[in-house]
A and B are shown apart, each in its own frame.
Chain A
Amino acid sequence: MSAEIQQKDSGGKKKAGHMKKLSTRIDFTPMVDMIMLLLTFFMLATSMSKPQTMEIGMPTKDKVEDKDKNEAKASEAVTIYLSKDHKVYYFMGIPELDKPDFLKQTDFSPEGLRKILIQKNAAIVAKVNELKDKKLKLQVTQADYEKQLSTLKSSPGTPVVVIKPLDNSTYNDMISALDEMLICNVGKYAITELDANDKTLLKNSKVQYEEAPKN
């Protein structure tokens, strides 16, 4: 396509030479082409949506005074170990160190860890679902919803989950575990490192807890 040049009769004043008055109409097609190109570039090269994030608070390494320590009740405690190949081992309550195969194995599927936690947390899950329903019907405001949600999650009697990723687990396992906490509305959870008791426990249940030596 080329710019169209129309000859127009200017009528009246005509100069001696054959000066033709050019049309002021400009062909915009090449411009549109270029802008399209730029537009496509910007659409592809830039990120519109920001990545999601998970906020996490870790316990301090400072020594906690014994009296300040709030021990979780045995009935509320759940300890999960994240292991190789996305396997999850867990036990409830107080560990029985000498009992072999004390740990039970599960995984990150909806039938696995999620089911266990939802069962454990049934009362709260039901209440949260009710609250979410209310929010959908616009019966509670966003601020109210968040407030109520956090009170529900931290109410007494809810499970306390201790997540202990083993050295041979991956980052994905940790995120999946944290995710399960969100899904199951568990408000009280922490990521901690293995201690001597855990190691005995894992050994007795024949779980490999150290990173496999590289071949």
Chain B
Amino acid sequence: MPKIKLPRKDTWIDMTPMSDVMILLLTFFMLTSTFLKPEPVKVNTPGSVSEIKIPEKNIFSVLISPDGKVFLDVDNPDDRIAILERVAAEYQINLTEKEKKDFSIATSFGTPIQQFKEFMAIPGEKQKVELANYGVPTDSTDNQFQAWVKAAREVKGKDMVIAIKADQGTPYKKIKAVMGSLQDLRENRYNLITSLREVSAPKPD
């Protein structure tokens, strides 16, 4: 029997369609997603059945760490500068242009305004680590949190949404301080950020 000679096939695979699809996916992901913002402290938000999504723009976010430290974040860099200027003026602190610029591109902030200059002098990478040790004062004697909210409301107008994000284990006392400060300013509507709750599984703490 004669052997059937199989023609040698080329193992070359054309990758072009694959790379086409990949680029499409990549573009999709790049355009639709927003980056996870690094936060000074890790918080574990409580679950809730509420399914309202948070608006994308004009957010004034308040982050409350498990030990009650308060950090703030504002989205628009120009607004950030304007807000900072107002607060600094109130506390009579002179800022350099560099400090303003650095502040506008940073993520969360939350130092007592008196220590602001000292904090901005810390080199970039260390700042992120150091920030967790600060926190905006919310006590009644020196309520800088209120100053920030007031400035933000003036800059961003009435469409600004205040979003509070706190850890499951944050004592209510600390939350009360923040909510009380907001109430003093007649900011009575705000959002509490939660994660979607798992189906009634008992959660041990």
Name A residues whose Cβ lies closer than 8 Å to a Cβ of B: 4, 25, 27-29, 31-32, 35-36, 38-39, 42-43, 45-48, 50-62, 82, 86, 109-110, 165-176, 178-179, 182-183, 191, 193, 211
Contact = CB atoms under 8 A, between A and B. Distances in A.
Contact of B48 (A48, A62, A110, A179): A179
A52 B48 contact: yes
Nearest to A211: B173
Nearest to B50: A54
Interface of B: 12, 14-16, 18-19, 22-23, 25-26, 29-30, 32-36, 45-54, 56, 64, 163, 165-173, 175-176, 179, 182-184, 186, 188-197, 200, 202, 205
Given A36-B22, A170-B170, A46 B34 contact: yes
Contacts of B14: 28
Contacts of A42: 26, 29-30, 33
Nearest to A183: B49
B40 to A, nearest CB: 17
Nearest to A46: B33
Contact of A174 (B30, B172, B197): B172
Contact of A27 (B15, B34, B182, B188): B15
B50 A179 contact: yes
B29 A46 contact: yes
B18 A52 contact: no
Contact of B188 (A46, A51, A58): A58
Contact of B171 (A35, A193, A211): A211
Contacts of B19: 28, 31-32, 35
A32 B112 CA distance: 49
Contact of A4 (B12, B195, B200): B12
Contact of A171 (B12, B56, B64): B64
